């Protein structure tokens, strides 16, 4: 952070699986899009080399490239130890830098495959705009020509409303205390013997035999193609949360739902244990992180190791301020028509909305102190550096964004993503009726209230519940969609209105 020549957000473009690219022939804008910086320094002798290393032979990174500021370990990504159950956890995947083309000239033509730039760290679930691309676009190019794509925006758009993780997967001892084959997980869930890892998921059998239904999703012990497509129609979410909510208390409950929950952690040797953060909300930034909490006192000093290898927790006051800031962003940007719309930035000429999504904007807002130290002037990208990009505002912010000490949107989304929706499925409906005489005078009045809940089936059962909307045969289903169940009904007294 202290020794970056270009002064950019180096960890946002740090892709541990980066392709080999010939950097000798690259222009300045091309180098800005890559996850490394190249610097050549004089070497007098091996005994007096300027590259400092630790006693174990590790180089230094993070806060600096020397022992004074740097850390011999910096953890930015995790490899899951068990099947993941949240789209937010895909922020640790390498969802960018795909092979695009082979250079046609120079040394690079012999050895290199140039990726689709820029390489982006933590693409899925996060929403930071790319400074090389104008705010009203998701694709562009730099000299070369080299094509550019907003990997985060495009990946979120393709995933958040069409895919989910059911949790019906083989479970190992680390997650469940014993090995469970995928088919046995499905049987236990649909027969009511055991919850899925997302405890809010409930089986929806529609009167079918639970065991037969579970087995219908498999061909022997392997999930069938039809089972993969249809299992979602037999799972409902108990208490799904609408991201368009403007209730601070509701968001406070959702954002603080992990309070006092145990966290699987490890020590320097890799030994695993469980830590409880009494009165605090653990941040899900890494799987099985080091048990070293980066608090505000340690974040003020770039040399403290906790912010580079550890984890964060949030207090009640921080959850409160985050909920308040998020509601402000929702009022500013909503209504969201899809989950991807909520997760992503708002592409357009409004640079404030185009810079990042609602949740990240709330995390980095002035009234929220969660990332306060990272956004201070001495730990943020300078205006001079940001000014050389096509979208300068997108580069402004924390230099160390992507480190464990900086709380990202994807960290907050990971534990709550399975219960989020951009619409509601339960509604409270009130109706009024009156009777009048021949002269138009009201002689009777009545008020009623009903609670209805949308279910998986279409209004006309001639179309199967799994039929794509574009393939519906019945006009009633194309107009009215899914059926609503009457949950409750009652007459109201005038005093209740």
Mean pLDDT of 441-452: 96
DSSP strand pairing (281-282 vs 313-314): antiparallel
Given the structure tokens 């009215």, which residue do they identify?
480
User: Has residue 105 got a pLDDT over 70?
Assistant: no
What is the distance between the alpha carbons of residues 375 and 9, in angstroms, rounded to a whole number?
Answer: 12
Mean pLDDT of 101-127: 74
Q: What is the pLDDT of residues 46-79, one digit of tens each?
A: 665 667 888 777 888 888 878 888 888 899 999 8
**pLDDT, position 119:** 82
User: Has residue 156 got a pLDDT over 60?
Assistant: yes
Mean pLDDT of 296-313: 91
What is the distance between the alpha carbons of residues 7 and 272, in angstroms, rounded to a whole number?
Answer: 37
What is the distance between the alpha carbons of residues 308 and 73, in angstroms, rounded to a whole number?
Answer: 7
User: Has residue 175 got a pLDDT over 60?
Assistant: no
Q: How many residues does the chain have?
A: 497
Of 20-34, 53-67, 298-312, least confident by mean pLDDT is: 20-34
- Helix, strand or coil for residue 279? coil
Mean pLDDT taken over the chain: 89
Burial 108-129 (b: 16+ CB within 10 A, else e): beeebebbbbbbbbbbbbbbbb
Beta-strand runs (E) in 137-294: 139-142, 146-149, 201-203, 218-219, 222-223, 235-237, 241-242, 262-266, 272-276, 281-282
Could you tell me the two tokens for 392?
Answer: 């300068």
Of 172-176, 315-319, 355-359, least confident by mean pLDDT is: 172-176
**pLDDT, position 150:** 94
User: Has residue 417 got a pLDDT over 60?
Assistant: yes
In degrees rounded to 5, what are phi and psi of residue 249? -65, -40
**Residues 6 or more apart in contact with residue 110 via CB below 8 angstroms:** none
In this prediction, residue 376 has a pLDDT band, given cuts at 50, 70 and 90, of confident
User: Has residue 256 got a pLDDT over 90?
Assistant: yes
Mean pLDDT of 260-276: 87
Could you tell me the two tokens for 26?
Answer: 């690259």
Identify the DSSP state of 19: P
User: Has residue 162 got a pLDDT over 80?
Assistant: yes
Identify whether the C-beta of residue 395 lies closer than 8 Å to the C-beta of residue 426: no
């Amino acid at each position: 952070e202290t020794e970056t020549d270009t002064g950019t957000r180096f960890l946002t473009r740090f892709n541990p699986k980066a392709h080999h690219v010939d950097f000798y022939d690259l222009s300045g804008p091309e180098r800005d899009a890559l996850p490394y910086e190249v610097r050549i320094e004089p070497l007098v002798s091996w005994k007096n080399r300027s590259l400092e290393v630790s006693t174990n032979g590790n180089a230094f990174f993070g806060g600096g490239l020397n022992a004074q500021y740097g850390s011999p370990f910096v953890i930015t990504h995790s490899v899951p130890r068990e099947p993941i159950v949240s789209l937010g956890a895909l922020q640790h995947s390498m969802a960018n830098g795909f092979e695009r083309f082979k250079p046609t000239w120079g040394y690079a033509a012999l050895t290199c495959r140039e990726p689709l730039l820029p390489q982006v760290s933590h693409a899925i679930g996060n929403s930071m705009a790319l400074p090389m691309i104008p705010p009203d676009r998701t694709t562009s190019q730099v000299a070369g020509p080299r094509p550019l794509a907003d990997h985060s925006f495009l990946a979120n758009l393709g995933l958040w409303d069409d895919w989910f993780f059911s949790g019906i997967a083989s479970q190992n001892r680390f997650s469940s205390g014993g090995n469970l084959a995928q088919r046995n997980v499905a049987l236990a869930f649909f027969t009511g013997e055991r919850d899925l890892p997302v405890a809010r998921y409930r089986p929806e059998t529609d009167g079918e035999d639970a065991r037969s239904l579970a087995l219908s999703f498999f061909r022997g012990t392997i999930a069938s193609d039809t089972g993969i497509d249809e299992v979602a129609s037999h799972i409902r979410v108990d208490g799904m949360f609408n991201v368009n909510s403007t209730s601070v208390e509701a968001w406070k409950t959702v954002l603080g739902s992990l309070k006092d929950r145990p966290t699987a952690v490890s020590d320097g040797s890799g030994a695993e244990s469980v830590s409880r953060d009494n009165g605090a909300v653990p941040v899900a930034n890494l799987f099985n992180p080091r048990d070293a909490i980066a608090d505000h006192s340690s974040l003020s000093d770039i040399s403290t190791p906790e912010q580079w290898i550890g984890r964060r927790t949030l207090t009640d006051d921080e959850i409160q301020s985050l909920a308040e800031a998020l509601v402000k962003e929702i009022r500013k940007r909503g209504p969201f028509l899809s989950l991807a719309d909520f997760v992503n930035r708002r592409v357009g000429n409004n640079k404030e909305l185009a810079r990042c999504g609602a949740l990240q904007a709330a995390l980095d807002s002035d009234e929220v102190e969660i990332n306060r130290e990272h956004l201070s002037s001495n730990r943020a990208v300078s205006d001079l550096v940001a000014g050389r990009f096509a979208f300068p505002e997108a580069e402004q912010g924390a230099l160390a964004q992507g480190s464990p000490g900086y709380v990202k949107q994807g960290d907050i989304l990971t534990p709550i993503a399975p219960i989020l929706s951009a619409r509601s499925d339960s509604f409270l409906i009130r109706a009024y009726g009156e009777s009048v005489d021949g002269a138009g005078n009201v002689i009777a009045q009545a008020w009623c209230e009903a609670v209805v809940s949308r279910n998986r089936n279409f209004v006309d059962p001639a179309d199967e519940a799994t039929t794509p909307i574009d393939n519906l045969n019945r006009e009633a289903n194309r107009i009215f969609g899914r059926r609503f169940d009457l949950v409750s009904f009652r007459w109201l007294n005038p005093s209740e209105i």
